[in-house]
Amino acid sequence: MLVKINSAAILGLEAYLVEVEVDSQKRLPGQSIVGLPDASVRESRDRVRAAIENSGFEFPPGYFTINLAPADTKKEGPLYDLPIALGMLLVSEQILKKNPDGTVVLGELSLDGQVRPINGILPICLSLGKKRKKVIVPKENADEAALVGGINVIPVNSLREAADYLAGNIKISPHKVDIDALFQSQPEYGIDFADVKGQGHVKRALEVAAAGGHNVLLVGPPGSGKTMLARRIPTIMPPLSLGEALEVTKLFSVTGLLHGKGALVTNRPFRSPHHTTSDIGIIGGGRIPRPGEVSLSHFGVLFLDEFPEFDRNVLEVLRQPLEDGKVTISRAHSSLTYPAQFMLVAAMNPCPCGRLYDFNQSCICTPAQVQRYWRKLSEPLLDRIDIQLEVPRLKAEEISAMPTGESSKEIRKRVMQARKLQSERFKGCQIYSNAHMNPKQIKEYCVLDKEAENILKSAIVHLKLSARAYDKVLKVARTIADLEGLKSIQAQHVAEATQYRSLDRKGGEF
Amino acid sequence: MGLESYQQGIKGEEIAENYLLEQGYQILEKNFHSQQGEIDIIARDKDFLVFVEVKNYSFRSYGSPVGAIRKSKKQSIVHAAETYLYKKKIRNTYCRFDVLTIYRRKDGSRAIELYKNAFTIN
């Protein structure tokens, strides 16, 4: 006797249909799962047995062969528990199926027969939505599944409920969500730029960075507020659009970061991996490649604290996604591409002890130590960071003062204006912000007036700006002009932009 | 111990047989041997062909007897079961492995427990 139930498997951010075939034979009792299952799929045997018995069914006798077709792709995760259990109940005729075929069944089982939530529901429903119109999902995943319009989402709590539904004993009405309401109702960040004391010029620079999508390097002694400032960058970036939110949600869903965070990610992600994170952790990978930190900060901020403490190879692998806005990971099994359009915010101390250039403490590092510290950052990497900033230690009166300054909301208004100008400018191009202009576009869009040109020339001479730094200054100046809503770049814009080249001004090193 | 435990074993199997008959089992074979294994009792329980392993234990033994059926013992039972099915040309029949435990208390009385479908072949 043979029964087939549809389920799904995820490859990257796409999903494909998996047929769970359950065959039973009258012979010595046992069970085998074929179709390249990984350990968590093979272990479903024990979960399924307990769940069936604890749901008031009888564990059927005989030998079961369970095939997950197509048999040549690796299957992972516990999402086949529910289809396997239902298959065994159908084969042993403990439920008589009334509903039509083609229903996709997904869900992990707990030993008491409850259906537990799984990862990757959104990508599965998006990929299969065109072909299959009905999906049985764990109740906790129902909102997420229903984000995909045009499919019937049947939420189930337990194996018993799923079985009753298949048998036609009970009716479950398809779950619906109001996407717009859900999108609007999500909480805001809960942090604000107004919380930060002092550091007016850093706030301004971060506003410029957010407006033009420029990557930032913050250099300052410990406790000067680098992390606090970085955390607040998402709050001044424009809110995610629905399309962007869905894409971020997809990435969070396959990585299992969605549990307990609602069905839809509406805030820009802020990821701050520790500096011991491996290159695979940053870029993504594994036997079946999973998204890394660069992809999880897609449309958001990737914050790397203690920048030079990261492994050299970790820093170098950042270069390609910074350039392309996506990462392609190839493994023997498969080659996958994940999006990675993020804003890099790096923070570091000026020297290993952190006190270099501090006004009231003296540094205890030797020049060689300082040099070694800075050498971790390669030229090509620094090349991709447009804004370099010093974040000085706060003065006593600043520390004791009440936090002042603009709220994130006000700053965000200006940022959104500037972004609007950019999206009009780059309509039809591959890029979306000033930071990604190529040399030709810089020539076209960064036109300086006479006075501005003079200032830039003298900056090149006096600050010894390199040719590379020249382009960066132009790009940043373009963003500053956009913030003011001006077509042409003026002297004060260039002057401000040269301020954001601390490293160049100090000769590549502090 | 030697002779005593042997006698207990013989006695145990008698008790087991009676118990199974009471439960409606129909005994087909006792102490079936294959080259690499043996089965204490082979019986029929309704639609099922049942291979029963009998385990004696007393207040003197340590731990539960079901836990005492380890992988090698399991393999020996499975091997014998397969041999039996092959020799008797039995196909298309539901089979089951049961374990019957007989616990001998200090006062000599016994407690019998039957674990149906105690294990599978993998």
Give A-chain residues touching B121 at CB under 8 angstroms: 28-30, 63
Position B65 pLDDT exceeds 80: no
CB distance A114 to A105 below 8 Å: no
Distance CA A449, CA A488 (A): 7
Distance CA A49, CA A352 (A): 57
User: From the CA of B48, how many Å to the nearest CA of chain A?
Assistant: 9
Encoding tokens for residue A5?
A: 């139930």
User: What's the ipTM?
Assistant: 0.85
Question: Is B117 close to A32, i.e. CB distance below 8 A?
Answer: no
Distance CA A414, CA A93 (A): 65
Report the candidate in A410, A123, A102, A72 with the shortest Cα–Cα distance to residue A255: A123
Report the candidate in A374, A475, A371, A467 with the shortest Cα–Cα distance to residue A422: A475
B120 touches chain A (CB under 8 A): yes
Position B85 scores a pLDDT of 94
Q: Which residue has the tokens 């009676």?
A: B18
Position A271 scores a pLDDT of 95
Greater confidence (B5 vs A309) lies with A309
Give the model confidence (pLDDT) of A12-46 as tens digits: 898 999 999 999 999 999 999 999 999 989 999 99
- Identify the CATH class of B1-115: alpha beta
Place A253 in a pLDDT band, splitting at 50, 70 and 90: very high
Q: Calculate the average pLDDT of chain B.
A: 86
Position A263 scores a pLDDT of 83
**CA atoms in the 13 A half-sphere facing the CB of A116:** 19
CB distance A163 to A89 below 8 Å: yes
Question: Is A61 close to B96, i.e. CB distance below 8 A?
Answer: yes
Give B-chain residues touching A31 at CB under 8 angstroms: 120, 122
Q: Calculate the average pLDDT of chain A.
A: 89
Position A187 scores a pLDDT of 74
Position A276 scores a pLDDT of 94
How, if at all, do strands A326-330 and A335-339 pair?
Answer: antiparallel
A28 touches chain B (CB under 8 A): yes
- Among A28, A32, A59, the residue with its CB nearest the CB of B81 is A28
Report the candidate in A250, A288, A284 with the shortest Cα–Cα distance to residue A269: A250
Position A438 scores a pLDDT of 87
A50 touches chain B (CB under 8 A): no
Nearby residues of A88 by Cβ (< 8 Å), 6 or more positions away:
A22, A24, A48, A52, A59, A60, A64
From the CB of residue A156, how many other CB atoms can be counted at a distance below 10 Å? Answer: 24
B80 touches chain A (CB under 8 A): no
Question: Is A63 close to B121, i.e. CB distance below 8 A?
Answer: yes
Mean pLDDT for A96-118 is 88
Q: Is A200 helix (H, G, I), strand (E, B) or coil?
A: helix
A60 touches chain B (CB under 8 A): no
CB distance A145 to A175 below 8 Å: yes
How, if at all, do strands A343-348 and A301-304 pair?
Answer: parallel
Distances (CA, A) of A338 to A119, A249, A266, A323, A332: 17, 13, 19, 14, 17
Give the model confidence (pLDDT) of A61-83 as tens digits: 999 999 999 998 889 889 999 99
Written as one letter, the residue type at B54 is V
User: From the CA of A45, how many Å to the nearest CA of chain B?
Assistant: 11
Give the model confidence (pLDDT) of A141-175 as tens digits: 999 999 988 899 999 999 999 999 999 899 999 99
Mean pLDDT for A104-127 is 94
Distance CA A454, CA B62 (A): 94
Give A-chain residues touching B48 at CB under 8 angstroms: 61
Written as one letter, the residue type at A327 is V
Position A100 pLDDT exceeds 70: no
Give me the residues of A, 157-196, that contact B with CB < 8 A: none
Give A-chain residues touching B85 at CB under 8 angstroms: 27-28
Question: Is A31 close to B94, i.e. CB distance below 8 A?
Answer: no
Nearby residues of A403 by Cβ (< 8 Å), 6 or more positions away:
A194, A195, A196, A197
Place A504 in a pLDDT band, splitting at 50, 70 and 90: low
Give the model confidence (pLDDT) of A174-233 as tens digits: 999 888 888 887 777 888 988 888 888 899 999 999 999 999 999 998 888 899 999 999
Position A363 scores a pLDDT of 86
- Among A26, A30, A59, the residue with its CB nearest the CB of B93 is A26
Place B63 in a pLDDT band, splitting at 50, 70 and 90: low
Encoding tokens for residue A296?
A: 């999880």
- Among A26, A30, A59, the residue with its CB nearest the CB of B121 is A30
- Among A28, A59, A62, the residue with its CB nearest the CB of B78 is A28
Position A402 pLDDT exceeds 90: no
Position B62 pLDDT exceeds 90: no
Question: Is B122 close to A30, i.e. CB distance below 8 A?
Answer: yes
Q: Where are the domains of chain B?
A: 1-115
Q: Which residue has the tokens 């994170």?
A: A277
> How far, in whole angstroms, is CA A113 from its chain's centroid?
33
Question: Is B85 close to A26, i.e. CB distance below 8 A?
Answer: no
Position A273 pLDDT exceeds 90: yes
